[in-house]
């Protein structure tokens, strides 16, 4: 059954793809058999991350236009922040990328982070796995605006784009190594703002000091005006043609395996049941509760 469904997805059936994503997202019966039946294509996954307000959604929208103009197909996973109370989300990307929802070469799926700390959906690895069996040339994963050390996207993407803005200023000096090290390409968005050139210069110096063996591109863009997107797209294509470093490849695979094992071991624990136990025991100190719980 699954092989027949996956064949239709490979041939471009978007409705079946959407249903399979929902099956995995909500852990309906049979979703594990579906995942085990997949033979994914080697579709490159582009991860877009960075601080809140950097213009990740606008950049994603502009990048879609670049890809479509090259007669290529793209699948997009947009992760929006969830409420910590009901796990719902605004899913604002539906508004920002509304012009692409009926385009035959573009598939967009909005997901809520559901409290995941790494800026991604808890089932993002599995959903991307499903997406990779479709007929896309690229898959873009846009994360929630993450903090300085939350770099889960590196375990998922083949190419990680870190988006910054000129106003980051001195923050770049204090930025933790994690987010800096996962970047394959830096994008300084909103580069028409004052001091953008100085920021780019400082960023290039910092990147050069951190990586002596290879060069990480720093690209200036004004995504809202499509400025600099042609240069960014060329860098993405260049990165896709490079021979993948085996050590990095297996490091990313290990990261994916770690996350899957973590999810499996945590599957019987949910926040709602923890809250009820805290209330029942009238626990004031969460560390005492953890000692009691385990």
Cα–Cα distance for residue pair 260/266, rounded to 1 Å: 10
pTM: 0.81
pLDDT beneath 70: ranges in the chain: 81-96, 113-121, 145-152, 154-155, 168-180, 209-214, 243-249, 252, 292-294
Query: Which CATH architecture best describes the domain 40-242?
Result: 3-Layer(aba) Sandwich (3.40)
- pLDDT, position 179: 62
- pLDDT, position 53: 82
- pLDDT, position 84: 47
- pLDDT, position 148: 41
* Contact (Cβ atoms closer than 8 angstroms) between residue 79 and residue 113: yes
- pLDDT, position 117: 47
């Amino acid at each position: 059954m699954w092989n027949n469904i996956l064949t239709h997805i490979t041939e471009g059936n978007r409705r079946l793809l959407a249903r399979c994503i929902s099956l995995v997202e909500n852990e309906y019966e049979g979703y594990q058999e579906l995942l085990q039946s997949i033979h994914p294509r080697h579709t490159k996954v582009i991860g877009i991350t960075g601080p809140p307000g950097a213009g990740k959604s606008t950049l994603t929208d502009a990048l879609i236009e670049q890809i479509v103009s090259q007669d290529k197909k793209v699948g997009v996973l947009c992760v929006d922040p969830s409420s910590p109370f009901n796990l719902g989300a605004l899913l604002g990307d539906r508004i920002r990328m509304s012009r692409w929802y009926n385009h035959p070469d573009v598939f967009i799926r909005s997901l809520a982070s559901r409290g995941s700390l790494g800026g991604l959906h808890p089932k993002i690895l599995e959903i991307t796995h499903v997406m990779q069996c479709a007929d896309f040339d690229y898959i873009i994963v846009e994360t929630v605006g993450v903090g300085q050390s939350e770099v889960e996207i590196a375990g998922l993407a083949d190419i990680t784009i870190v988006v910054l803005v000129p106003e980051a200023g001195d923050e770049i000096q204090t930025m933790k190594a994690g987010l800096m090290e996962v970047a394959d390409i830096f994008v300084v968005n909103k580069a028409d703002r004052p001091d953008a050139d100085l920021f780019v210069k400082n960023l290039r110096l910092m990147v050069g000091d951190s990586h002596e063996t290879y060069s990480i591109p720093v690209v200036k863009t004004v995504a809202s005006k499509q400025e600099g997107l042609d240069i960014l797209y060329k860098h993405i294509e260049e990165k896709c043609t490079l021979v993948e470093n085996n050590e990095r490849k297996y490091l990313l695979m290990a990261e994916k395996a770690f996350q899957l094992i973590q999810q499996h071991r945590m599957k019987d624990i949910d926040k709602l049941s923890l809250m009820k136990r805290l209330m029942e025991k009238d626990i004031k100190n969460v560390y005492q509760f953890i000692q009691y719980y385990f």
